[in-house]
Amino acid sequence: MSAVGVALFSAATYLTGDPSLSRIPLNRAIALHHLTIVLHALPASLVLLIGPFQFATALRARQPKLHRVLGRIYVVSMIFAAVAAVVAATFSVDGISTQIAFYLLSRAWLYTLYRGYTFIRQGQIQLHRISMIRNYALSFAAVVLRGFLGIGAAMQGIFPTLTFADLYATSAWGSITVCVVVAEYFVLNRTVAPLVRKRQPAERPEVHS
């Protein structure tokens, strides 16, 4: 539900086309900075909305065609969002640390998407699922980022010297780290471990003479 809330809130904000409503400080020297943020935020919101449905086992089983259609929309939306994110990060006024965080996030976003697409084309469903868990976890960093920013805003009342740029950089790196760790937990404990247990031969009882 948090992903849906962030997606709808972000989309509603940027659909207005009003730069004054931007949640991110704009580079006033670059007239197209706001446009690149919009081109990132809108398809990224669609990714956040679609993702949870793609992991719904019942929906995949009952509506495989819908799963494929939503998957194609997800892929196209993510490519647009990732490319726009790179451009928007280049124009960012929040410092080099934030720029590097979003460059790496966009690269990982596209790489895990590519791997997920390649695996499903090869019919390797479990590897596809693992790649898409990682991919959506990176997408969910947008939700965690806003949570960290909320905590940071509260901390500014205690530490008034904290700037938005400091909070944004820390929140960006923190959200990516948290989501990567959580994704690997699910991959190892919810996907890989059950497969390993299934493939392990039953232990034979010892025969004593």
Cβ 103 vs Cβ 48: under 8 Å: no
Is 68 part of a structural domain of the chain?
yes
Give 30's DSSP letter: -
Q: What is the pLDDT of residues 182-208, one digit of tens each?
A: 999 988 887 766 666 666 655 455 555
Return the pLDDT at 1: 60
Is 152 part of a structural domain of the chain?
yes
Is 206 part of a structural domain of the chain?
no
Count other C-beta atoms under 10 Å from residue 3's C-beta. Answer: 19
User: In the chain, how many domains are there?
Assistant: 1
The four Cα atoms 23, 25, 30, 32 give a dihedral, to 10 degrees, of -10
CA 184 to chain centre: 14
Conformation bin of residue 166: beta by default, left when phi > 0, alpha when psi is -120 to 50: alpha
CA 13 to chain centre: 19
Q: What is the pLDDT of residues 46-75, one digit of tens each?
A: 999 999 999 988 888 899 999 999 999 999
Is 45 part of a structural domain of the chain?
yes
Cβ 176 vs Cβ 104: under 8 Å: yes
Place of tokens 């991110």: 24
Give the residue numbers spanning the domain of 168. Answer: 2-194
Is 201 part of a structural domain of the chain?
no
Task: Please give the C-alpha separations between residue 79 and each of 83, 118, 133, in angstroms, as whole numbers.
Answer: 6, 15, 17
Q: What is the pLDDT of residues 114-169, one digit of tens each?
A: 999 999 999 999 899 999 999 999 999 999 998 998 998 888 888 888 888 888 99
Give the amino acid at 66.
L
**Tokens standing for residue 84:** 């726009």
Domain of residue 100, CATH code: 1.20.120
Is 199 part of a structural domain of the chain?
no
Crossing angle between the packed helical segments 33-54 and 125-155, to the nearest 10 degrees: 130
Is 207 part of a structural domain of the chain?
no
pTM, two decimal places: 0.84
Is 40 part of a structural domain of the chain?
yes
Residues counted in the chain: 209
Return the pLDDT at 19: 82
